[in-house]
Amino acid sequence: MNHLPSVNASLNALSGVLVVAGYAAIRNRKIALHKTLMLAAVASSTIFLACYLTYHYYRTRITGLGPTKFAGQGLSRPIYFTILTTHTILAVVTVPLVIITVIRGLRSNFEKHKRIARWTLPIWLYVSVTGVIVYFMLYHWFAKPA
């Protein structure tokens, strides 16, 4: 189970790359590629969510350890908690945005799809990137020595 934070960060990074690639594809009018990349981003994000919930269930319910504590001091603390707070709030917002955006795209309701995608894309990308940043801050850059 200790490997899941790395898996989660990798899935977040993959989602971010797929979202950017999907955006590039649609800007170049490669609709089929855009659809494939965005559905792959949804799959990656869904697998991330399953792994994330599994890991946190394991840490809290099975081991009783609770969430990993941030060990950074000084200026790193407000920076970390600001990133974590915005990441968490926007992650919750991202789920319905992605669902609505995908449904509109799959139903070929492209005008409505495009309108909501203009909001979904930057928020989803922010959540993906900040998820990786939170991982590095928590487990590498400011981790307690073992």
pLDDT at residue 9 greater than cutoff 80: yes
For range 107-123, the mean pLDDT? 97
Tens of pLDDT, residues 53-108: 999 899 888 888 888 899 999 999 999 999 999 999 999 999 999 999 999 999 99
For range 121-146, the mean pLDDT? 93
Tens of pLDDT, residues 17-39: 999 999 999 999 999 999 999 99
Q: What is the DSSP string of 87-131?
A: HHHHHHHHHHHHHHHHHHHHTT-HHHHHHHHHHHHHHHHHHHHHH
Provide the 3-class DSSP secondary structure of residue 107.
coil
Provide the 3-class DSSP secondary structure of residue 51.
helix
Question: How far is Cα 142 from Cα 13, in angstroms, rounded to an integer?
Answer: 20
Which tokens sit at 106?
Answer: 């799959």
Per-residue pLDDT at 3: 86
pLDDT band at 146 (very low <50, low <70, confident <90, very high): low
Question: How far is Cα 65 from Cα 117, in angstroms, rounded to an integer?
Answer: 39
Question: How far is Cα 1 from Cα 54, in angstroms, rounded to an integer?
Answer: 9
Query: Domains plus CATH for the chain?
Result: 4-141 (1.20.120.80)
